[in-house]
Amino acid sequence: MSPVIEVRDLRKTYGAGDTAVHALRGLDLTVEKGEYLAIMGASGSGKSTLLNILGCLDVASSGQYLLDGIDTGEFDEEQLSLLRNRKIGFVFQSFNLVPRTTALANVELPLVYAGVRRAQRRERALAALDLVGLKDRVHHRPNELSGGQQQRVAIARALVTSPAIVLADEPTGNLDTESSRDVLGILDRLNASGRTVVLITHEDEVAAHAMRTVRVVDGRVAGVLV
Amino acid sequence: MRIFEIAAFAVRGLTANKMRSGLTTLGILIGVASVIMLIAVGNGASSAVEQSISGLGTNILTISPQRAQPGGTAKPLTAADAAALVGPDSPDVKYASPVVSAQATAAYGDTTHDVGQFIGSDPQYFSTTNSAVASGNLFSANDVQQARKVVVIGSTVATQLFPGTDPVGKPMLVNNIPFTVVGVLAAKGSSGLQDADDVAVAPLTTTQNALTGYGSLTQIVVQAQSADALPNAQAQVTTILNGRHKVTDTADYRILSQDQLLTARTATTETFTVLLASVAAISLLVGGIGITNIMLVTVTERIREIGIRKAVGAPRSSILGQFLIEATLLSLFGGFLGVAAGVIGSQFTIAGIQPVIVPSSVLLAFAVSALIGLFFGSYPASRAAKLRPIEALRHE
Ligand SMILES: Nc1ncnc2c1ncn2[C@@H]1O[C@H](COP(=O)(O)OP(=O)(O)O)[C@@H](O)[C@H]1O
Ligand SMILES: [Mg+2]
């Protein structure tokens, strides 16, 4: 069985000339199906850059990225948006919910772009919100929800399309201890039900939830800790 | 993605931020309405002037005294000049009415009124100026001969001095000289620049006696037999007057046909319209900049939202569609409200002018504002839709 994520000699350079920043310098990484991987590393080491490329939110300067065995380098913008919609669920540190829009509408969003019909869309979005424990908050807007609740809405949105991988960039970075525990609990359950999870964190307690941790140093994977 | 879903996003986008949508609509509304109204006012002014002049008829010549050239002497225009203009030497002249105008304050009881135009003339004056009597009678040639102190007043004077009573037969003091009102003229309405009904007409002789003295006439109004006979009438009048005034070089009077008057007046009102149109153009520009501004701010604020939508898999076309529909709805809504406001506002008299809407200005204002709204509402959004999701998310 092929891995869900296979990255070879990935490089990413921001800017050009004297001011160029080499965020990734030939990174290799493989993530197997059903794995729960934590990515750690110093600030500025290139973790977010890597995850954004894995989430098809950004493209690498060079190197190869196979998602579910498909080479993403060949894809045009339309196909990438399809990948983001069907294969990837992304959770941001800063939640990134559409403002002034209910939790339900936020969770339905990827399904709308996937062309799912209204009734089925509602059903799946409600199920996802139920899964993250927000059944009683579906008609609240982001500004009426706590940080932890907003992040749970964001997770519901990430998992509602049943993606191949869920990527989370410091999902607990802006949350208090209790909310962090809720969020990590949800990710644990997701992984337990077979979903592949890749998450970035600074904290060892968070990384302890993962099966495997990789450390990124200066844009390369330094070593694998088990 | 069905278009229906995208349209629903657009509507939700608009209703989610009512303040923003409201301000954008207002910007477009003001731009459209002000252009429509400004042009309507200019157009109203010029059509009012045209109407008031063409109301006089097309077979009219007015003769007014000119100042003497250096070294020459100017003879005054007299009633005898006017009388001499009708005769066998001038077969194309129908009437020639001598006209004097005076400054006059009219009084009845405790009420006084400064009459806009106090005219002294003869009975033909009424037919040349298309004035009909509404109640009472016009004065007669006999009244002129006998210099009777009778006066025919316009409807404004009637309502000012005799509210609620019939003025006919009532005494009216003109500059403290007692006159009797014999008739009231039918209302003509405002001519835009002056009130055509704020008028009083008395016999020439009486007016000269009591008010102006026996200097030069203000005008001689000549009516030709027909509009076609006007050039001949003008030539005959010129010959007679040149003879009477012993004109060798430059005439000491000036003849204007109604056509020339019309041309001169329309020229001034055209200047006025052009002026208003340039003000309107500027307000369209300012309105356009306002719309641009609000649209740009709106879209910039929403680049993050565009990033979020792209991150969950929105294709570029659906984002483009959403913002295009939002901008179209705002522009059309604001444009329609602006047209409505402009049309309603043009129903009111503004500075004494009844605006007359120019249909093409409605179209122009609507089209320009809507296109500006559409362009600046969707173009920056389409640029943002081309960004990678992460670039859009990191924006500001
Ligand atoms: N958009 C960008 N433009 C320029 N430099 C960037 C950009 N994003 C990240 N970088 C740089 O790339 C390096 C890696 O950043 P990042 O991947 O965000 O690190 P981490 O998430 O590990 O803290 C840093 O030096 C950062 O300054
Ligand atoms: Mg980071």
Domain annotation covers residue B58: no
Least CA distance to A83: which residue of chain B?
Answer: B313
Q: Which atom of ligand 1 is nearest to the CA of A41?
A: 22
Q: From chain B, pick out residues whose CB is under 8 angstroms from the CB of A113.
A: 1, 309, 312-315, 318
Q: Which atom of ligand 1 is nearest to the CA of A12?
A: 12
Helix (H) or strand (E) segment spanning residue B300: helix B258-301
* Distance (Å) from the alpha carbon of A180 to chain B's nearest alpha carbon: 23
Question: What is the distance between the alpha carbons of residues B96 and B122, in angstroms, rounded to a whole number?
Answer: 9
Nearest alpha carbon to residue B90 among B214, B220, B203: B220
Residue A23 Cβ < 6 Å to ligand 1: yes
Say yes or no: B97 and B229 in one domain.
yes
Q: Cβ contacts of residue A107 below 8 Å, gap of 6+?
A: A125, A128, A129, A153, A156, A157, A160
Say yes or no: B274 and B238 in one domain.
no
Residue with tokens 């919100």: A129
Domain annotation covers residue B257: no
> From the candidates A12, A50, A81, A117, which should be mutated to test the interface with B, based on the most B CB atoms within 10 A?
A81
Whether this model's pTM surpasses 0.95: no
Q: Cβ contacts of residue A30 below 8 Å, gap of 6+?
A: A3, A5, A6, A7
Is the alpha carbon torsion for B12, B17, B20, B25 positive or negative?
positive
Residue A20 alpha carbon to ligand 1 centre in Å? 11
Q: Cβ contacts of residue A223 below 8 Å, gap of 6+?
A: A214, A215
The packing angle between helices B316-345 and B18-54, to 10°, is 40
What DSSP designation does B225 have? S
Domain annotation covers residue B61: no
Mean pLDDT, residues A208-222: 92
pLDDT of residue B53: 65
Give the end of a domain, one of B196, B221, B251. Answer: B251
Residue A46 Cβ < 6 Å to ligand 1: yes
SS3 of A168, please?
strand
Residue A205: CATH number of its domain: 3.40.50.300
pLDDT of residue B262: 67
Question: What is the distance between the alpha carbons of residues B343 and B29, in angstroms, rounded to a whole number?
Answer: 12
Say yes or no: B277 and B241 in one domain.
no
Mean pLDDT of chain A, nearest integer: 93
Domain annotation covers residue B231: yes
Say yes or no: B144 and B184 in one domain.
yes
Residue A42 alpha carbon to ligand 2 centre in Å? 9
pLDDT of residue B56: 60
Q: From chain B, pick out residues whose CB is under 8 angstroms from the CB of A161.
A: 313
Digit-by-digit pLDDT tens for chain B (396 residues) are 578 888 888 888 888 888 888 888 888 888 888 888 888 887 887 777 776 666 666 678 888 888 766 666 677 888 888 888 888 888 888 888 899 988 889 989 888 899 888 999 999 888 877 788 888 888 988 988 888 999 999 988 998 888 888 889 899 999 989 999 999 998 876 555 567 788 999 999 989 888 888 888 888 888 888 777 888 888 898 888 888 888 777 778 888 877 777 676 667 767 777 777 787 778 777 777 877 777 777 777 788 999 999 999 999 989 888 888 888 888 888 889 999 998 998 888 777 777 888 888 888 888 887 788 788 878 877 888 888 999 999 886
Residue A12 Cβ < 6 Å to ligand 1: no
pLDDT of residue B12: 85
> From the candidates B312, B320, B322, B390, which should be mutated to test the interface with A, based on the most A CB atoms within 10 A?
B312
Say yes or no: B239 and B302 in one domain.
no
Structure tokens at A27: 């990174």
- ipTM, two decimals: 0.94
Q: Cβ contacts of residue A79 below 8 Å, gap of 6+?
A: none
Least CA distance to B392: which residue of chain A?
Answer: A57
Give the end of a domain, one of B251, B286, B321. Answer: B251
Residue-range definition of the domain harbouring residue B216: 67-251
Position A225: which residue type? Answer: L
Instruction: Give the count of domains, chain B.
Output: 2
Question: What is the distance between the alpha carbons of residues B137 and B256, in angstroms, rounded to a whole number?
Answer: 30
Q: Are B88 and B256 in contact (CB under 8 A)?
A: no
* Distance (Å) from the alpha carbon of A154 to chain B's nearest alpha carbon: 11
Say yes or no: B12 and B74 in one domain.
no
Domain annotation covers residue B279: yes
Residue with tokens 């004035």: B131
Domain annotation covers residue B227: yes
Nearest alpha carbon to residue A84 among B39, B391, B389: B389
Which of A52, A78, A98 lies at the smallest CB-CB distance from B315?
A78
Domain annotation covers residue B60: no
- A223 pLDDT band, cuts 50/70/90, is low
Residue A151 Cβ < 6 Å to ligand 1: no
Domain annotation covers residue B256: no
* Distance (Å) from the alpha carbon of B379 to chain A's nearest alpha carbon: 19
Question: What is the distance between the alpha carbons of residues B66 and B6, in angstroms, rounded to a whole number?
Answer: 75
Say yes or no: B381 and B297 in one domain.
yes
Residue-range definition of the domain harbouring residue A151: 5-225
List, as ranges, residues 264-293 from B with C-beta within 8 Å of A.
none
Percent of chain A, pLDDT > 90? 88
SS3 of A106, please?
helix
Q: Are B86 and B241 in contact (CB under 8 A)?
A: no
Q: Which residue has the higher pLDDT, A109 or B90?
A: A109
- A108 pLDDT band, cuts 50/70/90, is very high
Q: From chain A, pick out residues whose CB is under 8 angstroms from the CB of B388.
A: 57-59
Say yes or no: B272 and B224 in one domain.
no
The packing angle between helices B316-345 and A77-86, to 10°, is 100
Q: From chain A, pick out residues whose CB is under 8 angstroms from the CB of B5.
A: 112
Instruction: Give the count of domains, chain A.
Output: 1
pLDDT digits (tens, 9 = 90+) for A47-102: 999 999 999 999 999 999 999 888 998 899 899 999 999 999 999 999 999 988 99
Question: What is the distance between the alpha carbons of residues A127 and B111, in angstroms, rounded to a whole number?
Answer: 86
pLDDT of residue B248: 74
- A140 pLDDT band, cuts 50/70/90, is very high
Say yes or no: B160 and B137 in one domain.
yes
Residue A21 Cβ < 6 Å to ligand 1: yes
DSSP code per residue over A8-23: EEEEEEES-GGG-EEE
Give the end of a domain, one of B221, B251, B281. Answer: B251
Across the interface, do A84 and B311 touch by the CB < 8 Å criterion? yes
Q: Report in angstroms the alpha-carbon separations of A108 from A132, B5, B182, B229, B368.
A: 15, 12, 85, 84, 37
Q: From chain B, pick out residues whose CB is under 8 angstroms from the CB of A85.
A: 312-314
